[in-house]
Amino acid sequence: MVLVEVRWHGRGGQGIVTVSRILAQAALLDGKYAQSFPEFGPERRGAPVTGYTRISDEPILIHSQIYNPNIVVVVDPTLIGKVDVIRGLSPKGLVVAHASRGPDELKKILGVSDVSVYTVDAMKIALEVLGRPIYNTAMLGALLKAYPLVTMDSLVKVIRERFPGAVGEKNVAAIKRAYEEAIGVE
């Protein structure tokens, strides 16, 4: 795999840094090279925040921010329309969004054509599986459905290590359900 660059959009407190790091750690288990870093700023709860993940088969030399991501993951649905989530998205790129509406509709809202769009109702999954409105990990499942960036095995392993016990199992269940339920259009 050549270098893949992912940009995460969410709000302070939604676990953007955590989810970006989990993805990087899973890539590491797959024997790949990875970088995970936040958009450095005074992180405040509720304010729009950005996280970045780079994954590659080769050692990653670059240390600048990501300007032309291959993949954008929108964790917080309320950001669409407020933040330019597709800024710099590379041609034939991919958007994975938390949304109750379908990918066709989102594609129209975003005004994109040469981009694949996937959506999943992560809030519904989080409430039903975790019993709490924490939907960052579910977005990892949707991401994997859209693009096999890391293996599900590695992802599950990292989740179980990061959240030992019942919490980990619930997160694994949320990821797997999001993987099943995410739908996309090319």
Partner 1 sequence: MVIFMAKVMGLTGNEAIAYAVKQCNVDVVAAYPITPQTVMVEVISEYIYNGEMDAEFICVESEHSAMSACIGASLAGARVFTGTASQGLALMHEMLYIASGLRCPIVMGVANRALSAPLNIHGDHSDMMGSRDCGWIQIYAENVQEAYDWTIQAFKIAEDPRVLLPVSVNIDGFILSHCVENVFVLEDDVVARFLPPRKPLITIDPTNPITVGAMCLPDYYFEVKFQQFQTLNESLKVIREVTKEYESLSGRKYDVLEAYAMEDAEAAILCIGSTAGTAKEVAKGLRREGKKVGVVKLWVYRPFPQEDLIKALGDVKALAVLDRAFSFGAPFNALCSDVISTLYKYRKDIRVFNCVYGLGGRDITPMEIRGIFEETLEIADTGRLKEYVRFIGVRE
By CB under 8 A, residue 132 contacts partner 1: no
Task: Report the residue number, 33 or 147, with the smaller CB distance to partner 1.
Answer: 33
Based on the shown chain and the rule CB under 8 A, indicate whether residue 2 belongs to the binding site for partner 1.
no
Tell me how far the alpha carbon of residue 161 is from its chain's centroid: 19
Could you say whether residue 156 binds partner 1 (CB under 8 A)? no
Task: Indicate the residue among 22 and 138 with the shorter CB distance to partner 1.
Answer: 22
Q: Examine residue 73 and tell whether it contacts partner 1 (CB under 8 A).
A: no
Contact (CB, 8 A) for 66 and 7: yes
61 is a contact residue toward partner 1 (CB under 8 A): yes
Query: Smaller CB distance to partner 1: residue 13 or 133?
Result: 13
Minimum CB–partner distance for residue 85 and partner 1 (Å): 19
Q: Mapping DSSP to helix (H, G, I), strand (E, B) and coil, where does residue 25 land?
A: helix
Cβ contacts of 174 within 8 Å, gap of 6 or more: 125, 126, 129, 130, 135, 137, 138, 141
Q: Which stretch binds partner 1 (CB under 8 A): 7-15, 57-65, 73-81, 174-182?
A: 57-65
DSSP string, 103-172: HHHHHHHHT-SSSEEEEE-HHHHIIIIISSS--HHHHHHHHHHH--SS-HHHHHHHHHHHS-THHHHHHH
DSSP 2: -
Q: Which of 45, 63, 91, 166 binds partner 1 (CB under 8 A)?
A: 63
Q: Per CB under 8 A, does 92 bind partner 1?
A: no
* 159 is a site residue for partner 1 (CB under 8 A): no
Question: Is there binding between residue 134 and partner 1 (CB under 8 A)?
Answer: no
Neighbour-count burial for 138-170, b at 16+ CB within 10 Å, e otherwise: bbbbbbbbbbebbebebbbebbeeebeeeebeb
Q: Is 34 in the site for partner 1 (CB under 8 A)?
A: yes
Q: Which is nearer to partner 1, 36 or 171 (CB)?
A: 36
Could you list the residues that contact partner 1 (CB under 8 A)? 21, 24-25, 28, 33-38, 40, 42, 59-65, 67
